Structure 1
């Protein structure tokens, strides 16, 4: 099974959760890999995803489209006068999906962030047949952000498989102790909490793909060269 990992906002902790889940899964023999189809600004997120899979794939496969300007993908494409090639995204994803049991596709910002004027991450999830995981910063305001995001996913005809509350900062308000239980009472989607620096993602791993584990292929070797990987896509 493959997933889109989206956020309620920039800085919610998508890369932390995605890379942590990939690293933990692979340590348990589950062949998971993460990709960031479009990256803007620095590429630290992509480097973390690649490190999490022990550099099992070249960077250009994990991140087929990169912009220098640190803004939303569509805005970056306008500034740099370069349209986003959707076929390049699909080809990179297909390459990974054929070689690995599970692919986590990390979005940019939130679910409705535009990729083109008429295409956003909801459309990408539909095209790639992805279920969705929401990562949200556990702080005041998250109830509204999560409910709006989950509703947008549901209305788009997509399935939200899990909501991950990420404690991105030390407890600073009482909502951090109540958000989890309140969200569980409001939304019919599993809610999990993770702490900053957490390395054990066993609960999330079990939720996302444990029942499909029996059908997984063995971990595959790293390509001999970037040329070999390019030929495959």
Structure 2
């Protein structure tokens, strides 16, 4: 968005391809929380982030609106816990907590708002105007996870309840995505500039509640196929590898 806004000229006074004044608007970010539970049993996992829960992505019986995505975050340890711990907390305590922690990452969808936007000031600097939204859904997702952890049954291995509760919440804004869909057609070509295509996260109509990287990659490949077809070009076939 900033690149297009900085490219204003006589033909595009509001910025390149910005006749509709939507470029830079509908700025969105994921609303994320990190929650940690302590277990009486050690958690020696290495690839903890491979588990996720989307049961409440579109809501629940007690809330008819989307709440978001729950997954594990990369394993916390004493060093990462130290950043948010009181200075008097002993290092050995933080190390022990890290060895017994279950570490959750919660993501909720941010919603498009035309007043959340990126602009350029007179000096050419980026100015961000943003007000968070959809916070109620995220709060309910946190409460849902807390409730589920409280309902957990006894550990089949150790014969006792391993879970000790959730705490250490850290809420912040994460991945940024600008919405410019009304400036683009279905092939991500700008309406006003025939040779301008946008294939980053700007084509999203909402931020979603999961990492958008693979969707961005898939869409870029789709647009690439469209360009090959439009230009009458042929896809280069990979050379056949010689076999012995």
TM over 0.5: no
Q: Which of structures 1 and 2 has the bigger CA Rg?
A: 2
Structure that is richer in helix per residue: 1
TM-score by length of structure 1 reads: 0.21
TM-score by length of structure 2 reads: 0.21
